[in-house]
Structure 1
Amino acid sequence: MESQGKSAVTFREGVEACLPTVLGYLGIGLAAGVVGKGVGLSIFSILMMSVFIYAGSAQFIICGMIAIQAPVASIVFTAFLVNLRHFLMSMSVAPHFRSANLLESIGIGTLLTDESYGVLTTVLAKKQPVTVPWMNGLNIMAYLTWIAATVLGGLIGEYIPSPERFGLDFALIAMFIGLFVLQVDLPIRKRTRQTIIVLISVCVSLYLLMSVLSPELSVLIATLIGCLVGVVTNHDN
């Protein structure tokens, strides 16, 4: 099947595909920087956190745990669990980059985020080819935007002593809601019954697991259950 719309081949096309994510990252990054500054982090600390952690959900959680003076070991372990979903995302995209060498694969996996994964899966759902340069353009543009936005947010945060009063701590949740809607729109129009079954299985399993496991493990296991249901229902079709 021939691809429709813009191709996903060159680095520049990857950058262009990232533009909607850039707009989202500007808002979320500013909020993350403001929240970081609000819990006492320096601009340099905010910069280093964005460079080396590069995970909006983890960075918001880390700031929250710093605010309650949680032990360092707890912060590290919690951030690890929160980001464990990236392992699943990397596994799912790996087959589409079989020609990539080891360094290229590490680069793609390291900079892969929920947002870039969402853009990638949308492109793949449209049967468009993807290449390593395109993925690098998508990932690197998002990475640089996030760093710049969080640092700028930290600078602005010096003048906002209570970011929660402005609802900035809700910014990440709003971003995920928007991302979820965009990712579900295409499959629910093409495979309505299958998509609804998968969503129901994830929601029900997540609800049941939350009563006995931590939220992070519950999300991970519910995701695996959703994947299993998706594979089975797809095979039936």
Structure 2
Amino acid sequence: MFAVAPGFAAWGLMTGVAMVKSGMSVIEAILMTVLVYAGSAQLAAIPLLVAGAPAWVILATAFCVNLRFVVFSAHLRAYLMHLPRWQRLLTGFLTTDLSYVLFVRRFPAPSDEPDQRLAQQAYLAGNCGLCWVNWVGSSLVGVALANLIPTAWGLGFAGILALLGISFSLVTTRLRIIAAVVAGAAAVATFALPLKLNILVAIAAAVAVCLVLERAGMRAAASSPGAEPGAGPGNTP
């Protein structure tokens, strides 16, 4: 997490600046930083707050932007179901895109071994803790220095670059390359959709295409001569 912390901090800094410059009070900006803790949702909600949009529109927009965490939680379920509910809820609140990506890259599959489970829990907790301190701290600095830092600097783009760098490092198989291409193309093609729904379209398109390809690969492996029972794409080079 230290490697991507500077980009994440720049993103948090500009989010803090944007909240104050949008007309929010310092108290409101601080509460949004600590309680919402979701950069994309905060940046999506800010222009709606400025425009005086109804509360349900703001909440629906933030909900749609954050729906990707449903995918993250579904994947993390096998890693965390042995933990008490309060720990799972706290982990869900603290997990971000970066901490999730770094975690699944370090631990591609869950384990039933107690020592391995403890190692996974410690790694996720460390990344989530550092990420929270980094984001909240940089956002609060942005709130405090809002009148001194112009939004024209565009420092928030550094956070996007950090996410891209991590994402590219994960594209290590043909199926992941296809998923990235399909998601990117779908997001751009549906960019005009309201409430950031192009993000949901991109996720759905990538998942659907990869599921079809994966099942086709499993059927081909099962029907190939000499295929052993239980063999599949995950068991072949």
Q: TM class by shorter-chain length?
A: 0.7 to 0.9
State percent identity of aligned pairs.
24
Determine if the alignment matches structure 1 residue 57 to structure 2 residue 40: yes
Higher relative contact order, structure no. (Cα contacts within 8 Å, ≥ 6 residues apart): 1
Query: Where in structure 2 are the equivalents of 1:197-208 lying within 5 Å?
Result: 197-206=178-187
Please report how far the alpha carbon of residue 212 of structure 1 lies from its aligned counterpart in structure 2 after TM superposition. 7.5
Structure 2: unaligned runs, 5 residues or longer: 222-232
Q: Which one-letter code corresponds to 1:110 in the other structure? A: F
Query: What's 1:151 paired with?
Result: 140
Which aligned segments of 4 or more residues in structure 1 are displaced greater than 6 angstroms?
A: none
Query: Where in structure 2 are the equivalents of 1:32-181 lying within 5 Å?
Result: 32-125=15-108, 129=116, 130-160=119-149, 162-163=150-151, 165-168=152-155, 170-181=157-168
Q: Which one-letter code corresponds to 1:142 in the other structure? A: C
**More displaced 10-residue stretch of structure 1: 32-41 or 76-85:** 32-41
Please identify the structure whose Cα radius of gyration is greater.
2
d(CA) in 2 for partners of 1:233, 1:113:
32
Structure 1: unaligned runs, 5 residues or longer: 1-17
d(CA) in 2 for partners of 1:226, 1:47:
41
User: Normalising by the residue count of structure 2, what TM-score does the alignment of the two structures yield?
Assistant: 0.76
Q: CA deviation digits over 1:42-61, x for unaligned, max 9?
A: 22222211211111111111
Contact map agreement 1:198 1:229 (CA 8 A) in 2: no
Distance of aligned partners of 1:204 and 1:37 in 2 relative to their CA distance in 1, 3 Å threshold: closer
d(CA) in 2 for partners of 1:231, 1:34:
44
d(CA) in 1 for partners of 2:166, 2:145:
26
d(CA) in 2 for partners of 1:45, 1:234:
52
Distance of aligned partners of 1:183 and 1:112 in 2 relative to their CA distance in 1, 3 Å threshold: same
User: Normalising by the residue count of structure 1, what TM-score does the alignment of the two structures yield?
Assistant: 0.76
Distance of aligned partners of 1:159 and 1:200 in 2 relative to their CA distance in 1, 3 Å threshold: closer
Query: Where in structure 2 are the equivalents of 1:183-194 lying within 5 Å?
Result: 183-184=170-171, 188=172, 191=173, 193-194=174-175
Contact map agreement 1:90 1:112 (CA 8 A) in 2: no
Q: Which one-letter code corresponds to 1:134 in the other structure? A: Y
Please report how far the alpha carbon of residue 100 of structure 1 lies from its aligned counterpart in structure 2 after TM superposition. 1.5
d(CA) in 1 for partners of 2:91, 2:61:
24
Contact map agreement 1:43 1:154 (CA 8 A) in 2: yes
Q: What is the Cα-based RMSD across aligned positions, in Å?
A: 2.8
Please report how far the alpha carbon of residue 87 of structure 1 lies from its aligned counterpart in structure 2 after TM superposition. 0.8
Contact map agreement 1:30 1:152 (CA 8 A) in 2: yes
Contact map agreement 1:37 1:43 (CA 8 A) in 2: yes
d(CA) in 2 for partners of 1:207, 1:199:
12
Pick from 146, 164, 176 the counterpart of residue 195 of structure 1. Answer: 176
Determine if the alignment matches structure 1 residue 20 to structure 2 residue 3: yes
User: SS at the partner of 2:107?
Assistant: helix
Q: Which one-letter code corresponds to 1:68 in the other structure? A: A
Please report how far the alpha carbon of residue 223 of structure 1 lies from its aligned counterpart in structure 2 after TM superposition. 4.4
